[in-house]
Structure 1
């Protein structure tokens, strides 16, 4: 008897069915049977199912003689199931990697509940991924299992069959089956949740819910959407047959009204001319199932009134009035924006006529981001070594809390911003082009490139269209012409920047200011940072920071981080910077896999970690200055090199051990090679090449040269005399070695 029976009905999903079935059969938890139901599909779904059945004995094909619809097709699969738990999956959706393993573990933890509810994410045909907006309802905090009465918020989770695992014995004993017709999930989901004596949740994305551009039922205009009324009649009939569930009637009534209004208002569901008839049916449904005395939230009373009285014409009038109001507001906002822009342009022109303020230095970063990177290190150095100068930082108001108290805060696009842009004698930025800047005679612009150039950059991207995307190279070169100084960390960077960003600037090969903190921080600072990130005391924190694949439309999952953490054991914690905040949810997330993709300061993450795992990220050059272990891993080396281009292939001159597979990466850490003598030797050679000036005083050298006018700067501290702050693991090891031997106690 398998643990799971995964039931996949298929009808006209031949383009997606292979991916769906593969997502099930490649699960790391193999104790399953896959019941694939061909609902007499006119396309190749049946042939695909037979192909999978021929190569994997776990696949049990079912071919229905006639098309019966999604609900009865699921029933046909469930009737043949032998597993402990039923898992439903639509033929165009997919299970995420290790989903069934996570479900199995959670079922074991919670004592095999009747129903386990897990999370999902919508995956759009454009490449985006968005997690369920009410994921907070699936928190695993608190007692488990529980009854629905203890967590009624679960009814707010999308009422579908495929985001739950059902104990087969419970389903068969209660006699639950799917009805025919559209919205078949409704009379299944609500009765199942209300009847289940034990329910548990899993706060993990286990299903990718495909949002197809065309072809989905919910985007098909049809009279069959009227079947939603029959489905809710079945829900309330179930309540009538089970008086003990009467308490849920007001809740389900409100859910019904919201659902009916959703169907009524969506433009692509009801055929033209049928909306009035739909609303009349909704009115009858409202009156039939309304619970006397049930409260209606104030914000929903207008919507309820539309359904209660069948006010189709009123709705159309309100909709027209709302549309006119939105148009008027858009025109008003557009006019106000145009007026504001004109006033700001005039203000900027006036400010450019006034003298430059020699005591003012303005700092900006990409996307008007938070305090960090080279500009932050230089801003701090200005306050330490040139206190007569005033500094200001341009960032969004929501990020003002990231700035030091002594630094003036400026919101982008304001009059204060344009004043500072026009009158500051010195501008420091990591932007290639400063938006809106008309550089004045006497203004000095210091550009701080964001990383060591390992992959192609600048004008070399003209040969890499996949990575260049929509780069305006003419605009880029106009921005380069405004640079006066470029800060470089090493000779390789200097030679590369001067070639790919051709201009008349002066290169300051003084080191990376952003790494100064590696030499000025203390072990106490490291301990505080680790505590803030939730790293347990005594754990080895691995920072996983692959470079973004800017040539791909969708994010690339390079490692199964949960599996890596599980194989390495409780001693290791992974800080994952595997994506950007808008790349979607981190599917592998637990107390030992911490998603730090949205953390504003990568320097903090470096200090808090004990080792770095990366691929082609320039961060390895920064991290080498910390003298902490670095491990390389990439499953798409050839694809990345072909699409992005490489100046330096880290695999030919690695800063540490190289893993060609996930299992090899695990072995490197489990076997201790990550911190061995060979690793230290590779890191030393890499550091000599890419960190010749990183001694903790790079920012000071730039400030003294650019702002204080000193032509002679102090030479870098020799590598053998540099003392970067040790990692927490290294500090613990050193403390243990330094302790005197303790006498034996008998």
Structure 2
């Protein structure tokens, strides 16, 4: 089996047909499609079951209860038999030759992963855009990308515009955060602190659907579990410590900490919760005492020093 496609399914009856159609019609035929039933309450799985009767490459696994995206993807990887892994969100779709082009690059260059560019479809306006978070990718033509401590924060972390070598995931025990939003962030850091080279295909092969129930839509409406971003950040810290690479990546990690605090702080609905959970996270990652020797330490101290609740973490040895 060349490729395993993992599709977690939860309350996407409006979109799952387009998603499955785009996967089943791929020019690369040697694939298995692992649909994870995450116990929704609409007709999504009825649609998936009907598709499975028409295409025997579709395999259905049912969670015992609603477990979320990270858990479902991990189940999919554990039950995969493909040489490569792709995770497609069930409200998105892909261009018909995406997998063929990704596998060709992976086979030829012997890489652990490959990326494609993203086209965003705005559901409410029926328009496409590339002027958003994913535009970072448009600065690069099709080429090898080398990821290190100096640029690891410069790229989109999403799992779905990437294809991975299955053995690399399993051999390094790389998994998504379970029970948390922003699960892609921990996975991305776990993967690309271990694999420093990938290839970006210079084509818009993945279509991301933006709608009110997507993470981006929920963020704008004040419906996200903001505390999850700080739990994920702490998980990344633990992974860096356990892998004995915190010293190497500490500058990048603190840039990530700052970014994750900024992410929600200026949205009034979240400000109080950001202060509460950021304070807890900073204590858990031993800030500031562990990071006094890094290049951007004074900058981060100044940033966090603007928030009164964080000042109690500053020791006499670290002046603003």
What's the TM-score bracket when you normalise by the shorter of the two chains?
A: 0.7 to 0.9
Shift of 1:216: 2.0
Residue from 103, 115, 131 that aligns with 2:113: 115
Shift of 1:287: 5.0
Shift of 1:176: 1.3
For normalisation by structure 2, the TM-score amounts to: 0.84
Shift of 1:246: 3.3
- Give the direction of change, closer, same or farther, for the CA distance of 1:264–1:177 in structure 2 (3 Å limit): same
RMSD: 2.7
C-alpha distance in structure 1 between counterparts of 2:101 and 2:307, whole Å: 42
C-alpha distance in structure 1 between counterparts of 2:167 and 2:135, whole Å: 31
Shift of 1:115: 1.6
Where 2:203 maps in the other structure, the secondary structure is strand
Residue from 141, 153, 156 that aligns with 2:151: 153
Instruction: Please show how residues 145-544 of structure 1 align to structure 2 within 5 Å.
Output: 148-149=147-148, 152-153=150-151, 155-180=153-178, 181-196=180-195, 198-212=197-211, 214-220=212-218, 221-222=222-223, 224-244=225-245, 246-266=247-267, 270=270, 274-281=273-280, 283-284=282-283, 287-288=286-287, 291-296=291-296, 303-306=303-306, 310=310
Structure showing greater relative contact order (alpha-carbon pairs closer than 8 Å, 6 or more residues apart): 2
C-alpha distance in structure 2 between counterparts of 1:295 and 1:154, whole Å: 16
- Give the direction of change, closer, same or farther, for the CA distance of 1:256–1:130 in structure 2 (3 Å limit): farther
C-alpha distance in structure 2 between counterparts of 1:252 and 1:118, whole Å: 25
Where 1:83 maps in the other structure, the secondary structure is coil
Shift of 1:304: 4.2
- Give the direction of change, closer, same or farther, for the CA distance of 1:173–1:279 in structure 2 (3 Å limit): closer
C-alpha distance in structure 1 between counterparts of 2:275 and 2:171, whole Å: 42
Unaligned segments of structure 2, at least 5 residues: 312-320
Q: Is the 8 A contact 1:116 1:202 kept in 2?
A: yes
- Give the direction of change, closer, same or farther, for the CA distance of 1:298–1:96 in structure 2 (3 Å limit): farther
- Give the direction of change, closer, same or farther, for the CA distance of 1:240–1:287 in structure 2 (3 Å limit): closer
Where 1:288 maps in the other structure, the secondary structure is coil
Q: Is the 8 A contact 1:264 1:278 kept in 2?
A: no
Where 1:246 maps in the other structure, the secondary structure is helix
- Give the direction of change, closer, same or farther, for the CA distance of 1:147–1:9 in structure 2 (3 Å limit): same
Q: Is the 8 A contact 1:95 1:206 kept in 2?
A: yes
Shift of 1:27: 1.4
Structure 1 residue aligned with 2:314:
none
Q: Deviations over 1:72-109 (max 9, x none)?
A: 01111111111111101111111123211221222233
Q: Is the 8 A contact 1:286 1:308 kept in 2?
A: no
Q: Deviations over 1:517-546 (max 9, x none)?
A: xxxxxxxxxxxxxxxxxxxxxxxxxxxxxx
Q: Is the 8 A contact 2:185 2:232 kept in 1?
A: yes
Bigger Rg over Cα: 1
For normalisation by structure 1, the TM-score amounts to: 0.38
Structure 2 residue aligned with 1:133:
135
**1:61 maps to 2:60:** yes
- Give the direction of change, closer, same or farther, for the CA distance of 1:23–1:15 in structure 2 (3 Å limit): same
C-alpha distance in structure 2 between counterparts of 1:267 and 1:100, whole Å: 42
Where 1:162 maps in the other structure, the secondary structure is coil
Q: Is the 8 A contact 1:122 1:129 kept in 2?
A: yes
The count of aligned residue pairs is: 302
- Give the direction of change, closer, same or farther, for the CA distance of 1:299–1:235 in structure 2 (3 Å limit): closer
Shift of 1:156: 1.3
Structure 1 residue aligned with 2:82:
83
C-alpha distance in structure 2 between counterparts of 1:205 and 1:152, whole Å: 26
C-alpha distance in structure 1 between counterparts of 2:36 and 2:137, whole Å: 30
Where 2:258 maps in the other structure, the secondary structure is helix
- Give the direction of change, closer, same or farther, for the CA distance of 1:48–1:234 in structure 2 (3 Å limit): same
Q: Is the 8 A contact 1:117 1:201 kept in 2?
A: yes
- Give the direction of change, closer, same or farther, for the CA distance of 1:117–1:305 in structure 2 (3 Å limit): farther
Where 2:70 maps in the other structure, the secondary structure is helix
Structure 1 residue aligned with 2:315:
none
Q: Deviations over 1:171-202 (max 9, x none)?
A: 11111122211111111111101112543322
Shift of 1:20: 0.9
